[in-house]
């Protein structure tokens, strides 16, 4: 079995953690100011890492554009609820719920607090 656990660098781990918890309904599995593990049904959804901590070479320079070449893609079973959550968070919604003819799924596109590009799909 192969499993990925995506880690992104963020300016404020605690704020980003709460934002993702409110958006996706996931929970904190670690907590802290420099690293967070967000889970759903005992599965890691996303890890958050503070910019500049622990000398990881790709997480040193927060002034560079976060997420260039990266899409955070979340498949969910409650798309409308999560879209409502994004609206209630005043998130920057790039594209409202729409049908994607390539994936044959409904989805919407939103930016997180650090400007990462998220596609949320059913």
Q: Give 70-85 pLDDT, tens digit per residue.
A: 899 999 999 999 999 9
Domain membership flag for residue 2: no
Domains: count for the chain: 1
- 94-33-67-22 Cα dihedral, nearest 10 degrees: -20
Domain ranges, residue 92:
7-121
pTM of the model: 0.84
Domain membership flag for residue 16: yes
Tell me the pLDDT tens digit for each residue of 12-57: 999 999 999 999 999 999 888 999 999 999 999 999 999 877 777 7
Which CATH number do you get for residue 73?
3.10.180.10
Tell me the pLDDT tens digit for each residue of 79-103: 999 999 999 999 999 999 999 999 9
Domain membership flag for residue 1: no
Residue whose C-alpha is closest to residue 13's, from 115, 114, 118: 114
């Amino acid at each position: 079995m192969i499993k990925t656990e995506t880690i992104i660098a963020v300016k404020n781990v605690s704020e980003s953690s709460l934002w993702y918890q409110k958006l996706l309904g996931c929970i904190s599995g670690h907590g802290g100011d420099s690293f967070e593990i967000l889970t759903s049904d005992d599965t890691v959804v996303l890890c958050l890492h503070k910019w500049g901590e622990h000398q990881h070479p790709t997480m040193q320079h927060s002034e560079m554009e976060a997420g260039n070449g990266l899409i955070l893609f979340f498949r969910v079973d409650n798309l409308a609820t999560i879209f409502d959550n994004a609206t209630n968070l005043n998130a920057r919604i790039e594209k409202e719920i729409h049908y994607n003819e390539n994936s044959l799924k409904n989805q919407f596109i939103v930016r997180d607090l650090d400007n990462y590009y998220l596609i949320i799909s059913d």
